[in-house]
Structure 1
Amino acid sequence: MVFDALERQIVAALQLDPRCPWRKMAAVLGEAERTVARRGSQLLESGAVAVVGIRPQPAAVLIEMRCTPGTVRAATQALAQRSDTTFVYATTGSGDCVAEILMETGRMADVLSDELPSTIGLRDSTSYPVLRYFRTIRGWRPEVLSPGSVEALRSSLTPDSGILEVRHDLSRQDSELVEALCADGRMSYEALGRRVGVSEATARRRSEWLLANNQIQLRAVVEPGAFGLDVEALLWIRASPQHVEQLGKSLADLPMIRYAAAIAGDYQIIADVTVSDMPALYRFITASDWAQYASTVDVSMLLDARKRGGRFMRTPR
């Protein structure tokens, strides 16, 4: 499915503020509220876009797995079924699949040493702890809206902070609110209140506190191909220590970057880039300003996204 012009604007608005009311969105886009609400609801109901939440954790690790022949799809499915994975991709290159896992810091040894080795099809793997995010997918903004519209739609409650947060101990009601928003990030405050057993005003107040304090992160999950970005790749970048920060910030300023993080291991930065075609990817790698800070760049093409933003995607063919 490729979005038309209005659908792209609606999705771009949801990326800026996943809970943006249709009325506000319509006013900023200069469209009829009824039209925006109808088209937006159709996108959400069809699954072409989903507004979901993730509970952040104080530690994150990227896993690059190599699988025995014929088991890649089974391995990606097994990783996607884990509740702690945010994305799971089948890729080309030295690894067959790449996944991000969020966890408590004390769980890292158990996950890496005991749980992952039992993954179906696993031959061997390499782990890359995340040191800092420059951009996560909730900060991805394809160039669809005007700067004025972006500023009008941006929400102070859903910034892409890039910080690995320490989780707060939440009350039962707050935990239930987090669970509900993880499943449906646009659930109304009235519905949230009924589900948790509090008033609509309390549901609003506590939900806004959870968002403002980064205890839940909302994002609009969508396939880049719906924007006409049919080529997606992971860039494994080596850089000298003094260039890592500038390189990461330079990447995060670019609209084609969905994800960029500083990692520990043989590479210093990993970036997820989406472009229209292979020539565009070549130009991005060889003729962009950020490349001056990189020592080497290894490229893995994304073959299939089994999970994005904590959400299962299409069933593999």
Structure 2
Amino acid sequence: MPAETETTTPDALDRRIMSALQFDGRASFRRIAQALGSSEQTVARRYRRLREAGILRVVVLPDPRASRESLFVRIRTAPGAAEPIGSALARRPDVSWVTLAAAGTEVMCALRADDPRDRDELVLKNLPRLSQVTDVSTASLLHVFAETGLQEWQGFDARLDAQEIAALGARSRRHVPVRRTADEPGLTPDDDALLAPLAADGRISYAALAAATGRNESAVARRVEALLERGMLFVDVEVAYALIGFRTAATLWLTVAPADIHRVGSEIALHPEVGFVGAVSGPASLVVAVTCRDTADLYRYITERLAPITAIRQHEVTVTVRHLKQAGTVMNGDRLPRLSPSVARPARG
């Protein structure tokens, strides 16, 4: 079978490995194997197979909260115009993800605006000039609900139990509180050389990262660990959900009274179907990313999980038609980019 059409169906151990990585994407294969009762070689082989098949990838990215402003941009278009506009947005380095929704007439993207001039150029000038664009709206990201350490999609059939999580000894590297002091700046131009290899393979070893950047290994390790500890970078585990049977993704825009925003956001962040919850500006109070098996599963989530939360006054559901960009990398259809042998180097540990 040609490589481009070959598929991999993850079994129970594959899914347990994926769950373990969601707690710490840079955990060593040895530590994961000990927690799951498997061998280091088996875990490493399974991980590489999932990565090469475009099902799973671990990346280390700048935390959007470390940017001056992070925006969700919703662009409504004439029929047939959403995909080319979305593809153009996906090529921008300051856009981290792009989806098509609403039967292909709406583009949604996340924009990191370190320089307000870049934001204004796109939102106030470039997009409104396009005749195919009928409406543009934005919402600023105010807060990410991730303090529990579980703020990652947990919809796998083989979730880890408390004993396995304890054995893993994992600490979440996903959206730790941002800590920056006046004498401790965030990302600097000197960090740019580190960001590209980490975005390609978040499990790259410090030795390989040092070789890629021409720097001292211990200095590279100290810098990356410091940026992770201070919340300037975070570890993200990206999954091609459709390839493992979860084919319905949606964005929910929820309206909640100000007094209830934090409580409701923290509660929703624990739902296994949820991969992201953020407080935002605009008519809605919360934006929620949900991944379900199908539309019936999404309906059950809305009517059985969200319905009891009486503080939710209003909701809007936007079903994703297609992912164009995910975690800063352009998608290849339903797949994540395949792992290049040159970056297939696991984190040491």
> Normalising by the residue count of structure 1, what TM-score does the alignment of the two structures yield?
0.89
Aligned pairs for 1:20-99 within 5 A: 20-56=27-63, 57-92=67-102, 96-99=106-109
Amino acid at match of 1:9: R
The one of 149, 152, 165 aligned to 2:167:
152
* Stretch deviating more after TM superposition (93-102 or 35-44): 93-102
Q: Is the 8 A contact 2:51 2:57 kept in 1?
A: yes
Please state how far the C-alpha of 1:112 moved relative to its aligned partner: 1.9
1:16 equivalent among 19, 23, 33: 23
Identity %: 27
Q: Provide the C-alpha distance between the structure 2 equivalents of 1:142 and 1:164, rounded to a whole number of angstroms.
A: 30
Does 2:216 align with 1:199? Answer: yes
The code of the aligned residue for 1:11 comes to M
- Give the counterpart of 2:274 among 235, 257, 271: 257
Per-residue deviation, 1:66 = 0.6
Unaligned runs of at least 5 residues, structure 1: none
Instruction: Please list, as runs of the form range in 1=range in 2, the aligned pairs for 1:209-228 lying within 5 A after superposition.
Output: 209-228=226-245
SS in 2 for 1:292: coil
Structure 1: distance between partners of 2:105 and 2:281 = 17
SS at structure 1 position matched to 2:232: coil
Check 1:272–1:311 CA distance in 2 against 1; reply closer, same or farther (3 A cut).
Answer: same
CA distance in 1, matches of 2:139, 2:225: 33
Measured after TM superposition, the shift of residue 303 of structure 1 is 0.9
Structure 1 residues 13 and 157, CA gap change in structure 2 (3 angstroms): closer
Give the conservation status (yes or no) of the 8 Å contact 1:59–1:164. no
SS state at 1:194 partner: helix
One-letter identity of the residue aligned with 1:35: T
From 333, 339, 343, give the equivalent of 1:315: 333
Contact 1:93-1:299 within 8 A present in 2 as well: no
Measured in 2, the distance between the counterparts of 1:212 and 1:35 equals 30
Distance 1:311 1:209, change over 3 A: same
What SS does structure 2 have at the residue aligned with 1:60? strand
- Give aligned pairs, total: 316
Kindly indicate whether the alpha-carbon contact (under 8 Å) linking 1:138 and 1:218 is maintained by their aligned counterparts in 2: no
Tell me whether 221-230 or 238-247 shows the greater mean CA deviation.
221-230
Paired residues of 1:139 and 1:160 also in contact (CA < 8 A): no
- Structure 2 CA distance for partners of 1:84 and 1:120, relative to 1, 3 Å: farther
For residue 248 of structure 1, what is the aligned residue in structure 2? 265
**Unmatched 5+ stretches in structure 2:** 1-7, 336-349
Deviation of 1:118 after TM superposition, in Å, equals 5.2
Q: Deviations over 1:79-115 (max 9, x none)?
A: 1111111211111279612111111263433332134
Counterpart CA distance in 2 for 1:303 and 1:82 is: 21
Query: In 2 relative to 1, CA 315–280 (structure 1 residues): closer, same or farther, beyond 3 Å?
Result: closer
Cα displacement (A) at 1:179: 2.9
3-state SS of 2:309 partner: helix
Residue 296 of structure 1: aligned partner:
314
Summarize the Cα distance change of 1:157–1:274 in structure 2 as closer, same or farther, 3 Å threshold. Answer: closer
Change (3 A) 1:215 1:45: same
- 8 Å contact from structure 1 (residues 239, 294) kept in 2: yes
Alpha-carbon distance in 2 for matches of 1:45, 1:300:
31
Contact 1:50–1:221, Cα closer than 8 Å, also in 2? yes
User: Which whole-Å CA distance do the structure 2 matches of 1:240 and 1:13 have between them?
Assistant: 36
Counterpart in the other structure of 1:111: 122
TM superposition score normalised by structure 2: 0.81
